[in-house]
Amino acid sequence: MKEKSILRVTQLVKQYKDVKALNNVSLHIDKGECVGIVGESGSGKSTLVKSVLRLTEIQQGEVWFAEQPLHRLKGKKLQQARLGMQVVFQNPAASFNPKVKIIDSLLEPLRQQRTVPSFLSHVSRNEKEIAFYLLETVGISAEYALNYPHELSGGQLQRVAIARAISVGPSLVLLDEPTASLDVTVQAKILNLLKDLQETFQLSYLFISHDLAAVKFMSSRMMVMQQGEVIDQFDRAKLFDKNRHPYTKKLVRLFE
């Protein structure tokens, strides 16, 4: 694996019955980089995220994260390796147990890890103070810590989901349609928050979306998926080049 790459995926294959959800998909993400993947529903984007996380079995190919072969790891070794990789999903309401207070959902990954990451060491050893700091980092007042999920808006919940993702000090965050269920004004605020957090905490992102504008805003490199394959990839500045794949050009026309 390239030394500066935090994630390297090589020729992933995933098939569901007669449908090839992933067909020899490869990508790499360098430290501090955001790579964006755009594609319509059913293109294989979410299956890729689940495969990288090993939430679905890999039938063929390799996933290397922080120089560890995730495709070979099992049990506790896999769980330990995945601590450095967190995920934020599309539907914030579905990401939280409705019967658990925000503070407990927020602190769950830290409690499982049992150690406080270095970026929180200056805050406190006190759980409540750590939770307050994390909430304030994503623009949520500490007073919401004792609320239940239904008492927060969708945008507020997604901010808490992001706070929970960064709580263990990951080097990579997988963002699977993180703004898709939010209204337009809230989407822009969440994207700006993600940009700020990336710079502050030197995070790497894999940003997945059907929204070309969001992917362009977030990413330094872009990939286009269709029917389980990566059909185009390029630096963001080359999105409008004449030699783009016809499907990419179609997405650009919709974007314009």
Sheet with 19-30: strands ordered across: 19-30, 5-16, 60-65, 68-69
> Domain 31-53+83-252, CATH 3.40.190.10 — does that match?
no
As a residue count, the chain comes to 256
Give residue limits of the domains in the chain: 31-53+83-252
Alpha carbon distance 242, 228 (integer Å): 24
Query: Among 207, 253, 249, which Cα is nearest to 232's?
Result: 249
Summary count for the chain: helices (H), strands (E): 8, 10
3-class DSSP state for residue 6? Answer: strand
Please state, as a whole number, how many other Cβ atoms lie within 10 Å of the Cβ of residue 142: 15
Q: What is the residue-level pLDDT of the chain in tens, covering all 256 positions?
A: 445 799 999 999 999 888 889 999 999 999 999 999 999 988 999 999 999 999 998 899 999 999 999 999 999 899 888 889 999 999 999 999 999 999 999 999 888 887 777 778 777 778 899 999 999 999 999 999 999 999 999 999 999 999 999 999 999 999 999 999 899 999 999 999 999 999 999 999 999 999 999 999 999 999 999 999 999 999 999 999 999 999 999 999 987 7
